[in-house]
Structure 1
């Protein structure tokens, strides 16, 4: 009969301490918290073992348990769909502070739909729309956005949105991919191996998708509407220049606690 080594916890043991040991051995920094989430999400011992093994081999925790915590909400996140980052909560906070009552909100490059759903949760009487070019993201977003009373469309940026939204959008959220193509391979394995590349790749300088968004934003924004998107600190000045080149005005908002940089643009 084989005896588990001291270096390898017995995988038949599904106690919390054993699962924590396996996660810690795999390099999970917050092994205790992750073990608790996995054990809460698993419906039976077989599923628990499968989920622990998936995490041990490197899948993002959110893909393992099927959800992400974002702005105090539980957002469904399917396999390969971009996992909403905590720093992006700063974008939602800025939008909440600026959104009018009964806002028309559009979430472009929506991924799971986390931004639009979080904003709708904090405002009253939101008219919510979202779009993404990735079919898997759209399927996932529909689970979240539909429950929040919104609609999700599949297609490239503005293309699939109802034409009747032109000139009516009060808040345009667009968490565009902004990682330069050559830097994709430098990302943590959880991102580069398990999230859709289209959700990460911002082109040669990381701003190619952004330029397309700002080029089309003016005809969709209401007269007092705002466009908000996230970028890196080092790209902020170039992002502002890209906005200015389309005739929009832009400013930079930062959140040191979340390590976030948000660009806020408007028609005037």
Structure 2
């Protein structure tokens, strides 16, 4: 669901209830709940659950991500709109290759892979995640024939398999910042999909090292993180034979660290 501006004042009783519960986009959410509910009883139940703090995306079973509507569900990480920066970067990198092989690591419900599949034809697409619930939803968001791999990091991938683009939104929130997250994230999304160690970089650093085994020469590793984290990681230089750069989003806070394997 795209959230650009707060809603206007309204006499809608459901929107009013949601607003009093702290929902900034109450009109938009009221419309989504009405669209999803099969009747008045279910609508009342959904409104009560939303007012109690459950993410609206979990309640309606989908999230708008750019031009896509992706399946999501309770207990999984909901793709953020800021990740459209990574999606656009991955699409551009994929289009630059002939018959590209693309992997989304830490895929969750696979927003990046789904975006690439919708924008580029003739892609050998793969995703990997440690959460089988998220992968079940990812299957609904991806085309038939996508390689689905269950496991930690890149370990489940077949050996000697090379990719032209590896994109990822690893957990990158520092452990100490957990209490600063929204209530929805703290209570309804798995910590394993949010937290990345003391500085938020544990999974990112491990991925940069591990990707050397699976990234083709000339291929690109694209990782979303906070801008300050990206600058820190890129300053570190990465492994040998990598060129690195940072793409910063319009919000100034979200960045994609880009690593290209030169040989």
TM-score by length of 2: 0.90
Partner of 1:201 in structure 2? 195
Partner of 1:42 in structure 2? 37
For structure 1, the residue ranges without an aligned partner over 5 or more in a row are: 1-15
Cα distance, 1:37 vs structure 2 = 1.0
Q: 1:34-63 CA deviation, whole Å, 9 max, x = no partner?
A: 111111111222221221111111111111
SS at match of 2:223: strand
The RMSD of aligned alpha carbons is 1.7
More displaced stretch, 96-105 vs 19-28: 96-105
SS at match of 2:245: strand
Partner of 2:47 in structure 1? 52
Contact 1:211 1:242 in 2 (8 A): no
Change (3 A) 1:214 1:246: farther
Question: Using the alignment, how far apart are the partners of 1:127 and 1:75 within structure 2?
Answer: 20
Question: Using the alignment, how far apart are the partners of 2:164 and 2:173 within structure 1?
Answer: 27
More displaced stretch, 131-140 vs 241-250: 241-250
Contact 1:211 1:243 in 2 (8 A): no
1:180 to 148, 161, 174: 174
Change (3 A) 1:242 1:138: farther
Question: Using the alignment, how far apart are the partners of 2:82 and 2:116 within structure 1?
Answer: 15
Matched residues, number: 250
1:218 to 212, 217, 227: 212
Partner of 1:152 in structure 2? 148
Partner of 1:13 in structure 2? none
Cα distance, 1:130 vs structure 2 = 0.6
SS at match of 1:163: coil
Partner of 1:119 in structure 2? 116
Contact 1:228 1:265 in 2 (8 A): yes
Partner of 2:125 in structure 1? 128
For structure 2, the residue ranges without an aligned partner over 5 or more in a row are: 1-10
1:171 to 150, 160, 165: 165
1:140 aligns with 2:150: no
Question: Using the alignment, how far apart are the partners of 1:75 and 1:258 within structure 2?
Answer: 26
Partner of 2:15 in structure 1? 20
Question: Using the alignment, how far apart are the partners of 1:30 and 1:192 within structure 2?
Answer: 20
1:104 aligns with 2:97: no
SS at match of 1:218: helix
